[in-house]
Structure 1
Amino acid sequence: MIPALALYGIEKRFGSTRILRGVDLAIQPGERHALIGPNGAGKSTLFNLIAGGARPNAGRIDLFGAEITRLAPAAITRRGLARSFQSTSVFTRLSVFDNLRCAAMLAERDRTRWWQRFSGSPTVDARAAQVLDAVGLTERRHVQAGTLSYAEQRALDLGIALAGGAHTLLLDEPTAGMNRAEAARTIELIRETTAGRTLLMVEHDMDAVFAIADRISVLVQGRIIASGTPAAIRADETVRAAYLGEGFGT
């Protein structure tokens, strides 16, 4: 089976500092994969390379078998990969629904008359309404996105990725800054809305990681030191010593 996302020998340097040191990773279609590791391990840098925000010094990145290593972010998005950031990236002055309509337009192949489709397209509106319900924001449909709570804005962020038709999602710390109740709702939302899609997420909350991920990879000092099921990662002595801590899970 061709991996949904595959990294081969990815290296990244900033000046003389090596951030990533030959990262190999293969994520299968429909798999929900978590990337964990201590601060400074290179997780955000790796995300940025995958999404096209920067280029590696060496290595190759494939999306469903097609190389995307040197494509611009917009070109990668058009191929079906969407990224959320640690801070929300919604259009704060647009309504919640219009944020989703903007994203839904990207899923339309004919973009020559985008302004007409935005002003009244049944297809766009139906897609936006479906996602609006999926992320639990139907009652907030007409409010400005900038007035949403932080957790609601993160839900809208996820909705924007879904409405754009992405089959592969990169989620950067989706529960960061949330209280336990908000994080629990977000975890359930991610589980429900990403079913059947490929997911790679960076997350420090181990409850979220073990609740969502099918597989986990551990990045330490620019190298993946382990990759496996949540049970295997939890039991791995190398991982416990390097990141999770000797007392984790006891």
Structure 2
Amino acid sequence: MIPALAVYGIRKRFGPTHVLHGVDLAIEPGERHALIGPNGAGKSTLFNLIAGGARPNAGRIDLFGAEITRLAPAAIARRGLARSFQSTSVFARLSVFDNLRCAAMLAERRRMRWWQRFSGSRSVDAHAEQVLDAVGLSARGHVRAGTLSYAEQRALDLGIALAGGAHTLLLDEPTAGMNRAEAAHAIELIRATTAGRTLLMVEHDMDAVFALADRISVLVQGRVIATGTPAAIRADAAVRAAYLGDGLGGGLSGGLSGGFGKGAGA
């Protein structure tokens, strides 16, 4: 089976500083995959490379078998990959519904011939309404997006990706800044709305990681040191040693030992 998302031998340096050292990663279609690791491991850099925000110094990135290594972010998005950021990226002055409608409109325009685009507003509106309901914001559709709570804005971020027709999602710390109840709700929302889609997320909340991920990859000092199921990663001696060696015994390593809890830092 061709992976939905694959990186081969990815290397990245900033001046003399090497951040990624030959990273290999393959994510199957429909898989929910978590990328974890301590501060400075290179997780955000890898996300940025996959989404087209920067270019690797070496290696290749494929989306469903087609190379996207040197494509611009907009071109990658048009191929069905959407990225959320640690901070929300909604259009604050537009209504919640109009945020979703803009994303749905772009998706519809890609499917239509130019002469069909003027009659497509009903399907756009219907799709936006469907996503609005799916992310639990139906009662907030008329308000400006900038007035939403932080957790609601993260839900809207997810909705924008869904309305835009993305089949592969990169979620950067989707529960960061949330309390326990909000984080639990966010995870259930992600689980429900991304069924059948491919998901790669960076997350430090081990409750979220172990509740959502089918497989986990551990990135330490720019190298993937382990990939496996949540149970296998929890029991992996090399993973535990890497975290304990970085002085994280009270954080992520505690999560690996079964206590979970909020994770180890960015």
Q: TM-score, normalised by structure 1?
A: 0.96
Residue 36 of structure 2 is matched in structure 1 by 36
Residue 174 of structure 2 is matched in structure 1 by 174
Query: What is the CA-CA distance between 1:163 and the residue it aligns to?
Result: 0.3
Query: What is the CA-CA distance between 1:168 and the residue it aligns to?
Result: 0.1
Q: Mark the runs of 5 or more structure 1 residues left unpaired by the alignment.
A: none
Residue 202 of structure 1 is matched in structure 2 by 202
Residue 257 of structure 2 is matched in structure 1 by 248
Cα distance change on mapping 1:203 and 1:114 into 2, 3 Å: farther
Residue 142 of structure 1 is matched in structure 2 by 142
Counterparts of 1:43-58 in structure 2, within 5 Å, are: 43-58=43-58
Query: What is the CA-CA distance between 1:111 and the residue it aligns to?
Result: 7.5
In 1, the alpha carbon distance for the partners of 2:34 and 2:116 equals 36
In the TM superposition, what whole-angstrom CA distance separates every residue of 1:167-194 from its partner, at most 9, and x where no partner exists?
0000000000000010010010001011
AA of the residue aligned to 2:257: F
Counterpart check, 1:103 vs 2:112: no
Q: TM-score, normalised by structure 2?
A: 0.90
AA of the residue aligned to 1:245: S
Identity value in percent: 85
Residue 230 of structure 1 is matched in structure 2 by 230
Does the residue aligned with 1:245 lie in a helix, a strand or coil? Answer: helix
What CA RMSD, in Å, does the superposition of the two structures yield over aligned residues?
1.6
Residue 25 of structure 1 is matched in structure 2 by 25
Residue 160 of structure 1 is matched in structure 2 by 160
Query: What is the CA-CA distance between 1:106 and the residue it aligns to?
Result: 1.9
Residue 189 of structure 1 is matched in structure 2 by 189
Q: Which ranges of 4 or more aligned residues in structure 1 deviate by more than 3 Å?
A: 110-117
In 1, the alpha carbon distance for the partners of 2:222 and 2:215 equals 19
Does the residue aligned with 2:86 lie in a helix, a strand or coil? Answer: coil
8 Å contact 1:10–1:56 — kept in the other structure? yes
AA of the residue aligned to 1:232: A
**How many aligned residue pairs are there?**
248
Does the residue aligned with 2:18 lie in a helix, a strand or coil? Answer: strand
In 1, the alpha carbon distance for the partners of 2:96 and 2:79 equals 25
Q: Mark the runs of 5 or more structure 2 residues left unpaired by the alignment.
A: 244-251, 260-266
AA of the residue aligned to 1:99: N
Does the residue aligned with 2:40 lie in a helix, a strand or coil? Answer: coil
